[in-house]
């Protein structure tokens, strides 16, 4: 599949090739461990919307790049923790489980990377995929 775009210099329409989509229903080597350092992620072209592969303190997670609320590109959002009320200090809140949640950039719906669940509407949880590391390769079953 390709997209047409206009060159800024020449004004001509050119064809840009998108990376090929990986087939669903099988295991794919998506990166080396070094390519996704802790605290970062990589979007891989699996399925219709892609899959975000996240490294959270050395543990890898894979989640669909699709927010069920309005179809937003979930993996363009920022990974963060979850804010909870601090029972020790009235009126205070603390961030827990840093980087273990992804928040949609459109409306800030948060999803747990490990399970795909959301507190906003649990029945709208999203798909997660098994990830394993073999040697230095990160593999996703999708």
Could you tell me if 60 and 131 are in contact, meaning their C-beta atoms sit under 8 angstroms apart? yes
Q: Among residues 119, 47, 35, 106, which one has the least CA distance to residue 75?
A: 106
37 belongs to a structural domain: yes
pLDDT reading at 6 higher than 60: no
Please tell me the distance from the alpha carbon of residue 115 to that of residue 41, in angstroms, as a whole number: 17
Residue 9: Cβ within 10 Å count = 6
C-alpha 105 chain-centroid distance: 12
In this structure, is residue 120 part of a structural domain?
A: yes
pLDDT of residue 7: 47
**How far apart (Å, rounded) are the C-alpha atoms in residues 140 and 28?**
5
Q: Which domain holds residue 46?
A: 19-141
Number of independent structural domains in the chain: 1
Q: Which stretches does DSSP call E strand in the chain? A: 2-6, 13-17, 27-32, 41-44, 51-56, 59-64, 78-85, 93-103, 110-112, 128-129, 131-134, 137-141
In this prediction the pTM is 0.74
Q: What is the pLDDT of residues 123-133, one digit of tens each?
A: 899 999 999 99
* CA end-to-end distance (rounded Å), the chain: 21
Q: Is residue 12 one of the residues assigned to a domain?
A: no
For residue 83, is it within any domain? yes
9 inside domain: no
Of the candidates 45, 51, 53, the residue with the CA atom closest to the CA atom of residue 133? 53
Domain of 59, CATH number, reads: 2.102.10.10
Average pLDDT over residues 27-55: 95
For residue range 54-72, list pLDDT tens digits in order: 999 999 999 999 999 888 9
**Which of 6-15, 23-32, 74-83, 126-135 shows the lowest mean pLDDT across its residues?**
6-15
* pLDDT of the residue at 3: 44
Question: Is position 11 within any domain?
Answer: no
């Amino acid at each position: 599949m390709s997209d047409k775009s206009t060159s800024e210099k020449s004004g001509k329409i050119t064809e840009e090739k998108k990376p090929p989509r990986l087939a669903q229903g099988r295991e794919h080597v998506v990166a080396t461990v070094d390519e996704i350092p802790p605290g970062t992620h990589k979007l891989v072209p699996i399925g219709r919307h892609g899959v975000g592969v996240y490294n959270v303190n050395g543990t890898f997670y894979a989640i669909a790049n699709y927010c069920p609320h309005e179809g937003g590109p979930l993996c363009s959002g920022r990974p963060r923790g979850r804010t909870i009320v601090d029972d020790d200090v009235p009126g205070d809140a603390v961030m827990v489980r840093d980087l273990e949640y992804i928040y949609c950039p459109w409306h800030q719906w948060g999803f747990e990377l490990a399970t795909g669940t959301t507190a906003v509407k649990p029945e709208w949880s999203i798909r997660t995929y098994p990830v394993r590391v073999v040697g230095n390769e990160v593999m996703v079953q999708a």
